[in-house]
């Protein structure tokens, strides 16, 4: 795993795990199939309701993660001189 100026190796690994859990488990069939139903829930198809709830959670959680990245990152600076090869 790589280290970034905005996140260390552990944080980047956690970011990847977040994506895997979200897109390969929560948004996938074992869960979608379980919540899916031809009946309506609160007047809305259950499937659509579930997707919207998860989408909203994604947007909130990811915005928090991004805010954390902003506060955690080292300030980007411009350096006019060339770095040494491989430095």
CB of 70 to another protein, least distance (A): 6
Q: Does 3 bind another protein (CB under 8 A)?
A: yes
Residue 36's closest CA among 49, 26, 24, 25? 49
Contacts of 37 (CB under 8 A, 6+ apart): 46, 47
Q: Does 65 bind another protein (CB under 8 A)?
A: yes
Q: Count of CB atoms within 10 A of residue 28's CB? A: 11
Paired residues of 4 in beta bridges: none
Q: Does 82 bind another protein (CB under 8 A)?
A: yes
Binding site for another protein (CB under 8 A): 1-6, 12, 15-16, 19, 22-24, 27-30, 32-33, 36-40, 43-48, 51-52, 55, 58-59, 62-63, 65-66, 69-70, 73-83, 85-87
């Amino acid at each position: 795993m790589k280290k970034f100026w905005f996140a260390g190796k552990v944080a980047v690994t956690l970011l990847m795990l977040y994506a895997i859990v979200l897109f390969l488990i929560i948004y996938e069939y074992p869960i979608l199939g379980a919540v899916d139903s031809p009946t309506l829930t609160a007047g809305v198809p259950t499937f659509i309701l579930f997707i919207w709830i998860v989408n909203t959670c994604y947007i909130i959680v990811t915005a928090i993660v991004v805010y954390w990245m902003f506060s955690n990152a080292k300030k980007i600076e411009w350096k006019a001189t060339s770095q040494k090869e491989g430095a």
